[in-house]
Amino acid sequence: MCGEAITAELISAPAVAPTPREQVRLAAVSLAVDLDEDTGPCDCDDGDPLQHRVRDVLRAADRIYAWITEPAPAVRLTLTFGPVTDRATHPQTTKEDPMANLQLGDTQQVVATVVADDAAGNVVPDQLTWTAVPDTAVSLTPSADTLSCVIGGLVPTAGVVITATDTAGNEVTGDVDVIGGPASALSLSFGAVSDKPAPEPAPEPTA
């Protein structure tokens, strides 16, 4: 049988117990051999048919192994905000109540971080896109791995919605209120010049 010949060529009894990684690779080869047998008998008129089938089985085994060992897709995203900082000073405050909007001054910034979990609750890698509505209220600077983003306050605005979305369509949101900072400069201006109103007449003396 062609399948038996392929199995004999690819899978031999190991000298020592295989590692978990080697066990997965052997399982991938075995499954690829089983799938190859379903494609029909070898074409013995095509050069060396056994080597041809061995090459196809190895390619299929590589694809099966890559699929088995690929990280599971994320099914849940969790967003957290780090300490709020002035752009030139030190941390000032944190978001303690997850249900409350984060207060962010228009001269401040905060790092938002997302953790992606799979169906078993394990943390997995992910690729995110960050957006803000309205987008004029804050600046967004994602990290190289996209799992965090520096949010900078720009224009005082209540209820800014920050959203992180991955390629599978999972998304998580957080709310930010951008508020004005304390006064740092005073401006004085004069209105139009006008005549003063006439004084009220003095009251008549009483007897």
Single-letter amino acid, residue 140: L
CB atoms within 10 A of CB 32: 21
Residues 6+ apart with CB under 8 A from 85: 91, 92, 108, 109, 110
- Measured CA to CA, the distance from residue 97 to residue 159 in angstroms comes to 15
- pLDDT per residue, tens digit, the chain (207 aa), is 455 555 555 555 556 676 777 777 777 777 777 776 655 555 555 556 667 777 777 777 777 777 676 667 777 888 888 888 876 554 444 444 444 588 999 999 999 999 988 877 888 889 999 999 999 999 999 999 999 999 999 999 999 999 999 988 888 999 999 998 766 677 788 888 888 888 888 777 776
Cα gap 70→77, rounded to integer Å: 19
Domain 76-179 belongs in CATH node 3.90.190.20: no
User: Which strands sit side by side in the sheet containing 128-133, from one edge to the other?
Assistant: 102-105, 171-179, 157-166, 128-133
- Indicate the domain borders of the chain: 2-69, 76-179
Which residue is it, tokens 């690829």? Answer: 32
Q: Which pairs with CB-CB distance under 8 Å and at least 24 residues apart come from 36-42?
A: 36/2, 36/3, 36/6, 36/60, 37/1, 37/2, 37/3, 41/2, 42/2
Sign of the torsion angle spanned by Cα atoms 99, 104, 108, 112: positive
Asked if omega into 134 is within 30° of 0 (cis), the reply is: yes
pLDDT of residue 80: 87
Query: What is the rounded distance in angstroms from the CA atom of residue 187 to the CA atom of residue 207?
Result: 54
